[in-house]
Amino acid sequence: MRRSVLLTLGLFAGAAAFSACRDAAVAPVDRAVPVVLEAPTVNLNELAASRTGISFWITIDPRRDNLYSDGINSIRIPAGAICDPATSSYGPAYWDAPCTAASAPITMPVRVSLLNQRLVLYFGKDLRFVPTADPAKQVQLVVSAPKVKTTSEPLSAYDILWIPSSGDTFVDEAKSDPSLATVVLQEQGRIVRRLKHFSGYYVHLGFTSECDPNLDIGCMPR
């Protein structure tokens, strides 16, 4: 009799566990609640002391708004903004091409570092965003740069440049697409730029007032 009771309890527990797993699998996603991506808070002194920067992983739920912040860089990725990487092409020829929005979670590595005293934010997965003219559905990078409030440099020195995944070039995308121009909000101490895709971004935060293009691979004299 005891064996029969134990067997019955075991079957009941197994059924309950299966039901719980099934309920969890089909539980609806509250798309109105943004995903706050888990990123460490970094500062410029910490980055300057590190030879490789700070690396971590994030997982984006493309069905919901995603909020990224590392203490210097902030990005809001609206729901439905990411092209499905399994079906969409990547590269300058495709930034404005239609695509199917991703629906499955996307996990990628992120690295925040300094290169030649300039900030680099690098995403380790090539993704592009669904083309849209609606600002509320666009992806923007906002960089906190208090020094810009009092800088004597031309504001053009604070451009946010794209670093392709090869990592050996810096591209001023605004030259071919004005919608990707960097906007310096001097009174707020912030630098803002629309993003049409992920890989790497390079920001001059005013650490070096002059640069030598023969020595500094990020130098783009105006």
How many helices and strands in the chain, by DSSP H and E? 2, 11
Classify residue 86: in a domain, yes or no. yes
- Residues 121 and 26 occupy one common structural domain: no
Check residue 200 and give left, alpha or beta (phi > 0: left; psi -120 to 50: alpha).
Answer: beta
- Residues 42 and 63 occupy one common structural domain: yes
Give pLDDT tens digits along the chain (222 positions). Answer: 433 332 222 323 444 444 444 444 545 556 678 899 999 999 888 888 888 899 999 999 999 999 999 999 999 999 999 999 999 999 999 999 999 999 999 999 999 998 877 889 999 999 999 999 999 999 999 999 888 898 887 888 888 999 887 766 888 999 999 999 999 999 999 999 999 999 888 876 644 445 555 444 445 444
For residue 124, the SS3 value is: strand
- Residues 67 and 108 occupy one common structural domain: yes
- Residues 95 and 178 occupy one common structural domain: yes
Task: Give the count of beta carbons closer than 10 Å to the beta carbon of residue 71.
Answer: 15
Q: Write down the pLDDT at residue 24.
A: 46
* Contact criterion met (CB below 8 Å) for 206 and 104: no
Residues 6+ apart with CB under 8 A from 71: 40, 41, 42, 43, 144
Classify residue 219: in a domain, yes or no. no
* Contact criterion met (CB below 8 Å) for 196 and 206: no
- Residues 153 and 135 occupy one common structural domain: yes
Classify residue 143: in a domain, yes or no. yes
**Pairwise CA distance, residues 158 & 53, whole Å:** 21
**Pairwise CA distance, residues 162 & 169, whole Å:** 8
How many domains in the chain? 2
Query: Which residue carries 């023969």 as its tokens?
Result: 214
- Residues 115 and 175 occupy one common structural domain: yes
Classify residue 221: in a domain, yes or no. no
**Pairwise CA distance, residues 188 & 102, whole Å:** 34
* Contact criterion met (CB below 8 Å) for 139 and 77: yes
- Residues 98 and 24 occupy one common structural domain: no
Q: Write down the pLDDT at residue 30.
A: 63
Residues 6+ apart with CB under 8 A from 179: 194
> In which domain, by residue range, is 181 found?
35-203
pTM, two decimals, is 0.78
Classify residue 215: in a domain, yes or no. no
